[in-house]
Amino acid sequence: MSGEHKDAHHHDHSHLTEEDRIGTAFFLNAGFAIVELVGGFSVGSVAILSDAVHDLGDSVSLGLAWFLQRFSRKGKDLRFTYGYKRFSLLSALVNAIVLVSGSLFVLARAVPKFFSPEAPHVTGMFLLALFGVAVNAFAAFRLWKGSSINARVAAWHLLEDVLGWAAVLFVSVVLKFRPWYILDPLLSVLVSFFILWNVVKNLRYVLEIFLQGTPEGVCLNDIEAILLQIPGVISVHDLHVWSLDGERTVLTAHLVTGSDASPEEIEMAKNEARQRLSEKGIGHATLEMERKGEYCGMGAGHDCMAN
């Protein structure tokens, strides 16, 4: 906390660390999710149960983020040579498991209600929705004033939650005057599909990182062109780029210099390459330097997975 005061540009004087904030958000979210679960069951509304699953997913993300902060602070060691930041990817997987199983559970309850609609406890539904809109709108408003990008993203997310609750509120008002009980399972199915659609989107992103795909926003041809512009470099091969955790990019490549390049020229080319790559946001480059004609075994046509 004392560190915050050394930074003159830090306008937040709430004396809370990032970890404290995530912890508080976790307890609020988890508490609210439990209220929703109990409330959804007792008023007999599957739409509220869908919102509960959504908030349960948020709680799991926050809880794991909170827990994993401890790990991610640890530096590299002999077991995990890149450090522990990559553990944060696990939270996305656990989150997906919770959201998918929760959504399937709710869908299994919602779908039969299309064929035999039941009246939920409309007044209870209305009051719970009013509470949901108020709590989420208040939280979103508070975060909105935060200056960090994380706070903004979280605020947008809460706005999404507000919309979900506003829809429940709307349905409860309609049900007060019209017996269109099918609206409750209908909203539930819509929210569930929205949740599952987001799971697929997030999983694709995380799996691409796990599978060492070329990171979004990195064009391999551009990288190769940048390396080829370096004085002394005549060709590039075995170029690999992947992301550690969605933020840090790692690269390995072989750079070929002329057959008569001096050790100094090779060193200059290597340092220039590292410099230009770090300007492109690639902070961790491992470069193998070789002279033209030197045997390397990983030239054109080599199968990187063969050995």
Binding residues for Zn ion, per CB under 5 A?
238, 254, 296, 298, 304
Place of tokens 């739409």: 47
Task: Please report how close the Cβ of residue 298 comes to Zn ion at its closest, in angstroms.
Answer: 5
The whole-angstrom separation of Cα 242 and Cα 250 is 5
The whole-angstrom separation of Cα 108 and Cα 103 is 8
Place of tokens 């995380």: 206
Q: Please, which residue, 34 or 234, has the CB nearer to Zn ion?
A: 234
In the chain the first and final C-alpha atoms are separated, in Å, by 49
Task: Please report how close the Cβ of residue 243 comes to Zn ion at its closest, in angstroms.
Answer: 15
Task: Please report how close the Cβ of residue 229 comes to Zn ion at its closest, in angstroms.
Answer: 19
Q: Please, which residue, 111 or 298, has the CB nearer to Zn ion?
A: 298
Q: Please, which residue, 157 or 237, has the CB nearer to Zn ion?
A: 237
Task: Please report how close the Cβ of residue 84 comes to Zn ion at its closest, in angstroms.
Answer: 16
**Radius of gyration (C-alpha) of the chain in whole angstroms:** 26
The whole-angstrom separation of Cα 190 and Cα 95 is 20
The whole-angstrom separation of Cα 108 and Cα 45 is 13
The whole-angstrom separation of Cα 22 and Cα 26 is 6
Task: Please report how close the Cβ of residue 237 comes to Zn ion at its closest, in angstroms.
Answer: 6
Q: Please, which residue, 149 or 300, has the CB nearer to Zn ion?
A: 300
Written as six digits, the tokens of 41 are 């069951």
Q: Please, which residue, 140 or 253, has the CB nearer to Zn ion?
A: 253
Task: Please report how close the Cβ of residue 247 comes to Zn ion at its closest, in angstroms.
Answer: 16
Phi-psi region of 106 (alpha: psi -120 to 50; beta: other; left: phi over 0): alpha
Q: Please, which residue, 155 or 265, has the CB nearer to Zn ion?
A: 265
Q: Which residues pair with 288 in a beta bridge?
A: 254
